[in-house]
Copies of this chain bind each other. A is one copy, B any other.
């Protein structure tokens, strides 16, 4: 085992703050990601919170401010369990860095996407108990993990609009995959915002504040924004450009993996596709020959409306260098864009170009 109870072969981008993703092969064929395999994205030191002393404050534009212990949450609100995929906005940044360097940002591969079952209570039920007051438009989350990456250094935070916050799928979760939430995943309580970038699923939640405006926290107001290629990320200020929320349609080849050597002949190619928020994956095409021909992959049923879908295709791989491509379509008939070069942006978000795995197919040792 390496850090934080994670499997030994995690690709660790940073140890402090801890940022690591599983090898793609570890996600292959697994509708639910084991907790020791689930990616971990952090912006500061992992807090160590005494669950007995911990309280959740709900304040701002509410009729009845609340202060709730874990026991209060469990006693006052119905317990809910939900499967949901989380995906970091920086997922597949490595493909953008291959186009042009992105200094200061981790080269996440396609493993910054994982799926777990989450147990807790609906955020909407808690907000109903507090009572939304006039002008309530945004729900802000605050946590105690102070990030020195922020300017100025500050605890992590973020917000989502009231319409999303009160949707049935948004949970305050104390358990993941049937076990109490691990410290590195936000114990004792975290937000889970299915369909939105992972950054909004705030860990180690201590305060929920209902406001008229989005959070002014650095990670909402300044970071996690899609800048155009020619924008200067160092001078982009709060509110500039596009604030990321719902995730964009994406997919990845999980097996065989990019860079792998495989034996010639019949091979099952597998991967995930994920449409986020209000859309579903309608179809996945796979090309075993760099785009010359395409076939439709078999698409597994999702574990629910908020998860990725795994896909697979049997292909006969010829000897030599083989480039496998995959591309997903959503329920509006929209297709992913082809080239990472078109998507390059100064902070390296939303690389949802067609997935690619370059293989060497040979009779030698695999």
Write the residues of chain A forming the contact surface with B, with a CB cutoff of 8 angstroms: 226, 228-229, 242, 244-249, 276-279, 282-283, 285, 294, 296, 327, 329-339, 342-343, 349-350, 352
Q: Which are the 6 A-B pairs with shortest beta-carbon distances?
A: A333-B350, A248-B334, A248-B332, A335-B337, A226-B333, A278-B278
- Inter-chain contact B249/A296, CB cutoff 8 Å: no
Give 29 pairs: A residue, B residue, CB < 8 Å, sorted on A: A226-B329, A229-B294, A242-B282, A242-B283, A242-B329, A244-B332, A244-B333, A245-B331, A247-B332, A248-B332, A248-B333, A249-B334, A277-B278, A277-B332, A278-B278, A327-B342, A333-B350, A333-B352, A334-B334, A334-B337, A334-B350, A334-B352, A335-B337, A335-B342, A335-B343, A336-B337, A337-B337, A337-B338, A338-B339
Verify A228–B278 contact, CB threshold 8 A.
no
Our pick among B276, B283, B294 for the contact of A332 (Cβ within 8 Å) is B276
User: What is the bound-complex CA distance between A276 and B330, given in angstroms?
Assistant: 14
Distance in angstroms from A355 CB to nearest chain B CB is: 14
A228 neighbours in B (Cβ, 8 Å)? 283, 285, 296
Q: Chain A at the B interface: mostly helix, strand, loop or mixed?
A: loop
Name the B residues within 8 Å of A339 (CB-CB). Answer: 338
Q: Which residues of B contact A277 (CB under 8 A)?
A: 278, 332
For the complex formed, measure the closest distance between the CB of A137 and the CB atoms of chain B, giving whole angstroms: 15
Kindly report how many copies of this chain are found in the complex they form together: 2
Question: In the complex the two chains form, what is the Cα distance from A245 to B229 in whole Å?
Answer: 33
Task: Give the CA-CA distance A277 to B333 in the complex, in Å.
Answer: 13
Say whether A282 contacts B334, CB under 8 Å: no
Closest Cβ of chain B to A317, distance in Å, is 21
The contact of A333 among B285, B342, B349, by CB within 8 Å, is B349
What's the nearest-Cβ distance from chain B to residue A232, in Å? 15
User: Using Cβ atoms and an 8 Å threshold, which residues of chain B touch A245?
Assistant: 331-332
CA distance A348 to B47 in the complex (A): 54
Closest to A296 in B: B228
Could you say which residues of chain B place their CB within 8 Å of the CB of A352? 333-334
A283 to B294, CA, bound (A): 31
Nearest Cβ distance between residue A235 and chain B, in whole angstroms?
17
Set of chain B residues within 8 Å of A294, measured between Cβ atoms: 229
Taking a contact as CB atoms under 8 Å apart, the answer to whether B338 and A246 are in contact is no
Min C-beta distance of A105 to chain B, whole Å: 15
Once the chains bind, are B296 and A332 in contact (CB under 8 Å)?
no
Cβ–Cβ contact A350 & B338, under 8 A: no
Contacting residues, chain B, for A229 (C-beta < 8 A) = 294
Seed contacts A228-B296, A248-B334, A327-B342; 15 additional CB < 8 Å A-B pairs: A226-B333, A229-B294, A242-B333, A245-B332, A246-B331, A248-B333, A249-B334, A333-B349, A333-B350, A334-B334, A334-B350, A336-B337, A337-B337, A337-B338, A338-B338
CA distance A334 to B337 in the complex (A): 8
CA A213 to CA B279, docked complex, whole Å? 20
Kindly list chain B residues whose C-beta atoms are within 8 Å of the C-beta of A283.
228, 242
